[in-house]
Structure 1
Amino acid sequence: MIRLALAFFLLSGTAAWSDAGPVASDWFRGMDNQARLIAGHASRDGKTALYAGVDVSMPGGWKTYWRTPGDAGGVPPDFDWTGSDNLASAMVLYPAPHRIHDKAGDVVGYKNAVLFPVLVTPKDPSKPVTLQGKVQYGICKDICIPAEAELQLTIPPDVGTSAELTASLARVPDKAARSGIDPTLASWHLNDSAGKPKLILDIASSEPKTADAFVEGPGGIYVPLPKRSADQSGKAVFEVDLTDGVNIKDLKGKPLTVTMIDAKGQSETTIVLEK
């Protein structure tokens, strides 16, 4: 059994006001990781907006988890911005993850480092936003360490642009896939020919050997990780065993989010299994 060691750490910082660039807290060095909060204007899909970012860095070989950690378990990140000032909303976005093989099985997440962009909407755009939040996430190598960070950063209304946040946003899966770059869901169907229902996903990709796919159910309903079943010209085929820890009746008529990645890009889409 993997032994868990609990690491609580405090991250706080208020950056100086500046109209020339982004702002950031100091790095805080926790147990086998360091973290900071950054903020600035950044662009996604040609639209510029105010973003913050939870920046986590780990030693080589360490990993942290996506919002759906995978079959082998893990700690998904949790973000709580209660107590912030002049904040109407804060929406966390997730860069495309990767499938990671470890001793317990396959997990989904990030190795070495990740920057989670946070779309920040001020109540009054003419005034500074003071972010205060509690962030919980897990890091793992030979042991798994759940960490809790208390974050604080004041963002002036004239904050500059952040190349780091723009780069991270470019790795967030979008429903509007870029033609010739991002993998897409070419087709899908249910196969019940052997009496064991499977969801079959045909992923169109310019780099099919590097393609992967993840499926999420609504409300935390468990869906097993897809398994690669075939490679075709310009396509990778995956199947999801809908008898493995899940009742297909719980999924029918509900939206399932399919996230696709390959060496060039990423995208996501929604499918609904017929009742």
Structure 2
Amino acid sequence: MRNRLGPLAGALLLGVTFLAPAARAEAQLSSDWAEGHNSRARLIAGEKVAGVEVEMADGWKTYWRNPGDAGGVPPAFDWSKSNNLAAVKVLYPAPKRFSDSAGDTVGYKGTVVFPVELTPKDPAKPIDLKLTLDYGVCREICIPAEAALSLAIAPKEKHALPSELAAALQHVPAPEASRRPGDPVLKRVVPELGGAKPRLVLEAQFPKGAGHADIFIEAPDGLYVPLPKKVSDDGAGNLTFAIDLGDDVDPKDLKNQKLTATLVSDAGQSEATFSVD
């Protein structure tokens, strides 16, 4: 098994660095936009949660935390210059699969908001949020971008959650313990590791419908797992996917590892963990 990030979807032609001015006041609910090549980024604020919003020109995309088989640049969030921030957790809305001549990638087009859970060191004081965001924006080529963003978030600020952030939170895949009615369910995983064509077979149910249904798999320690391929659909929301373990994978490296499955569709999204026994 190899540790694989993969090459960029195209040649790295240009590095783009841009800055957004600091928030003008504690009550400000978003930073100014940081303009970049075919994209722009900003911070938005809510109660105990912020959002990193990336907006892209038509036809351009950015990546999920696992960029897919064709390679790519997952976003990187550096909060180390923030003040009064004890802990931070970035959440990822459900991504989509994109296929082209280079292969399959996983990510977002148009606009994406990454919700960010914030824990202040002192709840009575504002959080001075400072972020260095590294991400890729890609079309035929992939361009690495860096944005420096800042926003002061007042303590106990009472205001409505920005609509962009509220929508993003609704599209974050729910873990098994908090799965919502209608979210997809991973019903069974069947390892078929022997023979000339080893694979993992995943059976899933999409109770609200299987429009754009997909599954993405992540393994610990950077282990590479190919993207699943849909092999059957009964038309009633029961789908089967298979992961080909014959190329670039040693099935023995997956034995006893805990893998994470992210299940997505137009109607719901969830996460599930499983072990390869």
Q: TM-score scaled by structure 2? A: 0.90
Instruction: Note the residue ranges of structure 1 that are not aligned, 5 or more in a row.
Output: 42-49
Alignment of 1:145-156 (within 5 A): 145-156=143-154
* 1:243 CA drift (Å): 2.2
What is the aligned counterpart of 1:239 among 238, 242, 245?
Answer: 242
Quote the residue 1:74 is aligned against.
72
Quote the residue 1:12 is aligned against.
21
Quote the residue 2:4 is aligned against.
none
SS of corresponding position for 1:250? helix
> Are residues 1:203 and 2:204 paired?
yes
Alignment of 1:85-96 (within 5 A): 85-96=83-94
**CA displacement 1:114-165 (0-9 Å, x = unmatched):** 0001101000111000011211000001211100111111111132232322
Quote the residue 1:2 is aligned against.
10
**CA displacement 1:67-105 (0-9 Å, x = unmatched):** 000000000000110111000011101000000112211
Quote the residue 1:161 is aligned against.
160
* 1:65 CA drift (Å): 0.1
The structure whose residues are more often strand, as a share, is 1
Residue identity (%): 49
Amino acid of the structure 1 residue aligned with 2:222? G
Amino acid of the structure 2 residue aligned with 1:216? E
* 1:197 CA drift (Å): 1.7
Q: TM-score scaled by structure 1? A: 0.91
Quote the residue 1:46 is aligned against.
none
Mean alpha-carbon deviation: is it higher for 54-63 or for 226-235? 226-235
Partners of 1:26 and 1:102 lie apart in 2 by 34
SS of corresponding position for 2:166? helix
* 1:193 CA drift (Å): 6.1
* 1:192 CA drift (Å): 4.1
Quote the residue 1:229 is aligned against.
231
Q: Calculate the aligned-residue CA RMSD, in Å.
A: 1.5
Partners of 1:256 and 1:244 lie apart in 2 by 18
CA separation of 1:267 and 1:15: change in aligned 2, threshold 3 A: farther
- Tell me if structure 1 keeps the 8 A contact 2:211–2:267: no
Partners of 1:25 and 1:186 lie apart in 2 by 43
Quote the residue 2:6 is aligned against.
none
SS of corresponding position for 2:46? strand
Instruction: Note the residue ranges of structure 2 that are not aligned, 5 or more in a row.
Output: 1-8
Aligned residue pairs total 262
Q: Which runs of 4+ in 1 moved over 3 A?
A: 192-195
Quote the residue 1:27 is aligned against.
33
SS of corresponding position for 1:164? helix
SS of corresponding position for 1:219? helix
- Tell me if structure 2 keeps the 8 A contact 1:13–1:24: no
> Are residues 1:183 and 2:184 paired?
yes
Quote the residue 2:174 is aligned against.
174
What is the aligned counterpart of 1:64 among 47, 62, 65?
Answer: 62
Amino acid of the structure 1 residue aligned with 2:10? I
Partners of 1:137 and 1:216 lie apart in 2 by 19
* 1:27 CA drift (Å): 1.2
> Are residues 1:250 and 2:253 paired?
yes
* 1:3 CA drift (Å): 2.4
What is the aligned counterpart of 1:143 among 141, 144, 147?
Answer: 141
Quote the residue 1:108 is aligned against.
106
* 1:6 CA drift (Å): 1.2
